[in-house]
Structure 1
């Protein structure tokens, strides 16, 4: 069965508590439950991971190259400055879709730039948890450009 890695970066373990006006009241557990249900409907497995540590995220990206058919990643604040995560994504051949719960382009100026997006298949922003479902569907549909 196909497996998709879902990697969430720093502070996403605080969903439901952290700035609910921006990120909503649902928790990381709620997100993971929703993704597992959606994956089951679509006939795939999801491996949901979260870390506040850049190196751990890089290790998971490397690991996914051998174990998964795609990655959904929300790098959190690492989006804007982690060349290590950017280079890890660039080093693998499976598709990666970057997701952000909030519309980063409508927020502070420093959030407008993603160093990781240029090496991903695509980016989904501002659609809340629905963005993860859309990314999952896009990875399953595949389709090279």
Structure 2
């Protein structure tokens, strides 16, 4: 039987993990995040498509590609979560379960980070758990897929 596919999509500046503001985001790199996701996917018997982009349009296109292809989306929209109505519209259009992830606790940061458009469409939001949040998000998504299956 084919394993369900979960798209793990990452927005701008996450390619700078480990270098950018380690006091907020830690010293783990995006490669470390991908390894956490690969290990979680193997344990959960799901497939993942792990991607990162700095481009809003590319992220929107990747979300759109998920319709009919993926069983769910785990997304760290980064700054686009706070600014992108285009991303929100794309997530609405795909009609898939969505888990939003943020490495830092956005609610303990600047007020403009407390709100995300993605949260309006997400089944759940995980923030402040560092890169371990991705493993929790994949577990939650696998549970949602199983419950819907």
TM-score with structure 2 length normalisation?
0.94
Q: How does 1:103-122 map to 2 (within 5 A)?
A: 103-122=105-124
Deviating beyond 6 angstroms after TM superposition, the runs of 4 or more aligned structure 1 residues are none
Task: Quote the offset at 1:12 in angstroms.
Answer: 0.2
CA distance in 2, matches of 1:85, 1:3: 20
CA-based RMSD: 0.9
Q: For the residues of structure 2 that align with 1:114 and 1:97, how far apart are their CA atoms?
A: 13
Q: State the 1:57 CA deviation.
A: 0.5
Shift of 1:92: 1.3
CA displacement at 1:131 relative to structure 2: 1.1
Match of 2:29 among 21, 27, 37: 27
Q: Aligned with 1:10: secondary structure?
A: coil
Q: Secondary structure at the match of 1:47?
A: strand
Aligned length: 144
| In 1, Cα distance between equivalents of 2:94 and 2:87 | 11
Q: Give the match for residue 128 of structure 1.
A: 130
Paired residue for 1:4?
Answer: 6
Deviation at 1:46, TM superposition (A): 0.8
Where structure 1 has 5 or more consecutive residues not aligned to the other structure, the ranges are none
In the alignment, is the contact (CA less than 8 A) between 2:36 and 2:134 conserved in 1?
no
SS of alignment partner, residue 75 of structure 2? strand
